[in-house]
Amino acid sequence: MHTRRTPRQTKATARALAAALTAAGLLLTACSAGDSMTATSEAAQPALAPLPSSTPAALAPYYGQKLAWRDCGVEGFQCATLKAPLDYAKPGAGDVRLAVARKKATGEGRPLGSLLVNPGGPGGSAVGYLQQFAGIGYPAEIRARYDMVSMDPRGVARSEPVQCLDGRQMDTYTQSDVTPDDRKETDALVGRYKKFAERCGARSSRLLRHVSTVEAARDMDILRAVLGDRKLNYVGASYGTFLGATYAGLFPGRAGRLVLDGAMDPSLSARQLNLEQTRGFETAFQAFAKDCVRHTDCPLGGKGAPPAQVGDHLAAFFRKLDAHPVPAGDADGRRLGEALATTGVIAAMYDEAAWPRLREALTSAMKNNDGAGLLALSDSYYERDGDGQYTNLMFANAAVNCLDLPPAFDSPEQVEKDLPAFEKASPVFGKGLAWASLNCAYWPVRATGEPHRIEAKGADPIVVVGTTRDPATPYPWAQSLAHQLASARLLTYAGDGHTAYGRGSACIDSAINAYLLEGTPPANGKRCS
């Protein structure tokens, strides 16, 4: 059961995937259909209008609040709670409490203020990301001169999380058949979407109308002021690029050194985003397929087999699982069916370091009837722990996506009509990702956002980073966002995986580090491999 998610996969995530398993191609070219659609959409969309530079009197108490820092229970980190208005149109009608964490600058040299980091999602915990990776894994020279800071966006993790299903209900939901073969299966899938939406509405009615990206970006400006920074310095990955770009569009004069890694394109509709992401996963899978057949243990084809054959074999395996799930050694009795297997494969597309594990997991499932490896990959994607409990990642993901844009499809009939386009985009994943795009059709609140351009005229240079074979945020999105932003510098990584910073490219890392430390952006169009 997929939603439009752009999770941050780093070396830390790759290590986490490996730990879970032992205890997450074709180049998109400038003449692709996706690029043509992006250019047309971008030209037709209005630009995000900046907010007034002066702070409204009704918001002054929020901008003037003092944070009460306390020990987080994680060595070297402090935590606090920030208040923001639940509804910016009615600041006195109630607050939302937002979890903030920081690690103070550790070394010598002129302090550079705060560096806010966000790992993406939507729904990823920025506080968890800071404590588990950024606060200890970012380059020492960055951590020496910046206070490393994170804030869980409204509705996420520690910040009054959106809640929907319990663990057992979520287990059922993630196993939903998203490749229905007849009306009965289609009705069952629609029923699952409706139940998910109803439970979210029942358990989180106060929040659901106020978890948009625009509201989260406005929260970031309150945090900037409370931290005492004149401008916001920020590194956002994946969905975090949309959040950072939105901030720059709303507050261009307060945008400092912004790095947007694995960029999203705000000018696209939900259907376009889902279709182009489907192409992105096909691109990544083709790269995996080429790598797989170089190895004698590739279960999807003999050594040197054409990638198309690899895709055919995987699709046939998924069809087999649709009819006959295999044991997965799960304490809760789950078996590996098509839905969980597909999610497991998709999870491994985010980082090429996970490809050997994927080969091993596929071999076990296909040859030994043991689905444990693919199930572990799927669980890592959904953030399900060994006790059968889930974080609120997927609940917040749906809540933000369904509020930011009108639904991709309004009915099963619309999905069926568009299936050929999705299956052309990806013969392996297209059908499932098309049906997954129906999830917002039954959401209990109407979308408040629309596709738009972000120009951020007057902002300091903004570094937009794109990876050429990125599965979740296809490279044309970075090209489009860089074209929209008036001060953008496009930095390209020619390679595999989701995002580029901190994933092994000295060229990428040195360019971004120089910008964050010295304020010197890379030349527009700089390319690394």
The label of the residue with tokens 């507050």 reads 251
Residue 9 identity: Q
Is residue 178 within 8 Å of 435, Cβ to Cβ?
yes
Long-range contact pairs involving 329-334 (C-beta distance under 8 Å, separation at least 24): 329/370, 329/371, 329/372, 329/375, 330/372, 330/375, 331/388, 332/168, 332/171, 332/388, 334/171, 334/175, 334/375
| Residue 470 annotated to the active site | yes
How far apart are the C-alpha atoms of 408 and 414, rounded to whole Å? 9
Please pick, among 125, 470, 487, 496, the residue that the annotation labels catalytic.
470
What DSSP character marks residue 521? P
3-class state of residue 438 by DSSP: coil
| Residue 238 annotated to the active site | yes
CA torsion sign, 372 to 376 to 382 to 388? Answer: positive
Instruction: Please give the angle made by the CA atoms of 244, 248 and 249, to the nearest 5 degrees.
Output: 115
| Residue 498 annotated to the active site | yes
Please pick, among 32, 114, 212, 238, the residue that the annotation labels catalytic.
238
Locate 474 and state its tokens: 């296809």
Is residue 323 within 8 Å of 316, Cβ to Cβ?
no
Please pick, among 2, 210, 313, 498, the residue that the annotation labels catalytic.
498
Residue 391 identity: T
Catalytic positions, please?
238, 470, 498
